[in-house]
Amino acid sequence: MSTLIPTVKSSKKPAETNFNLLPSLPSWFDDILGKGLGTEFMSNFNTGITLPAVNVINSDNEFLIDMAVPGLKKSDFDINIDNNILSIGVESKTESNVKKENYTRREFGYSSFKRTFTIPHSVNTDEISADYADGILKIHLPKRDEAKRKPIKQIKLS
């Protein structure tokens, strides 16, 4: 926390302002404790997956959802459609157990997220597909034939 320094905005002298030049006792403790006991003790806490960013591309024939989620397996994903809502969920668990002469160390982790999207009525839900390669999840939402962009038709004058 930083200490406020009064600035003169009127003709009053700094001594006439209501600011205290010394920090208050609680802010002084916050400054000391905040710097010394910040995130050092929590450096490995909650290092799981955060909500991944998504790119949605609207092309002539389909919507394409790209999501960068590296380090996962295909079996970690739960992708489903319910009542025109597309849900993409991930649940990942890791566990390691190291045994040496004088010690045993066991670490585990859990991370998850869920993203949902409303599917437009222009999408053919029967033909939605997904693939996962090189850390990128791609979901293809093909458009219905009547929703696809038609090429420009030239009309000749008679």
User: What DSSP assignment string belongs to 54-99?
Assistant: EEEEE-SSEEEEEEE-TT--GGGEEEEEETTEEEEEEEEEEEEEEE
Indicate if 113 and 38 belong to the same structural domain. Answer: no
3-state secondary structure of 32: helix
Indicate if 16 and 59 belong to the same structural domain. Answer: no
Residue 141 lies in a domain: yes
pTM for the structure as a whole: 0.58
Residue 152 lies in a domain: no
Residue 157 lies in a domain: no
Which CATH number is 58's domain given?
2.60.40.790
DSSP 106-124: EEEEEEEEEEEEEPPTTB-
Residue 154 lies in a domain: no
Indicate if 115 and 63 belong to the same structural domain. Answer: yes
The H or E element spanning position 51 is: none
Q: Which pair of tokens denotes residue 17?
A: 């302002």
Count of all residues that appear for the chain in the document: 158
Q: How far is CA 145 from CA 65, 108, 114, in A?
A: 20, 48, 30
Domain total in the chain: 2
Q: Of 94, 44, 51, give the one whose Cα is nearest residue 73.
A: 94
Indicate if 59 and 101 belong to the same structural domain. Answer: yes
pLDDT at residue 70 tops 50: yes
pLDDT at site 153: 87
pLDDT at residue 75 tops 60: yes
Q: What confidence tens digit (pLDDT) does each residue in 6-60 have? A: 444 444 454 554 555 555 555 555 555 555 444 444 444 444 457 888 999 999 8
| 123-136 mean pLDDT | 94
C-alpha–C-alpha distance, residues 12 and 51, integer Å: 51
Average pLDDT, the chain: 76
Residue 156 lies in a domain: no
pLDDT at residue 112 tops 90: no
C-alpha–C-alpha distance, residues 112 and 50, integer Å: 8
3-state secondary structure of 137: strand
Confidence label for 99 from pLDDT (cuts 50, 70 and 90): confident
Residue 120 lies in a domain: yes
pLDDT at site 66: 96
Indicate if 62 and 136 belong to the same structural domain. Answer: yes
Indicate if 34 and 87 belong to the same structural domain. Answer: no
C-alpha–C-alpha distance, residues 124 and 145, integer Å: 9
**Structural domain harbouring 11:** 1-45
Which range scores top for mean pLDDT: 102-106, 112-116, 129-133? 129-133
Name the more confident of 105 and 70: 70
Indicate if 87 and 128 belong to the same structural domain. Answer: yes
Angle at 30 between CA 25 and CA 31, to 5 degrees: 100
| 67-75 mean pLDDT | 90
Indicate if 8 and 58 belong to the same structural domain. Answer: no
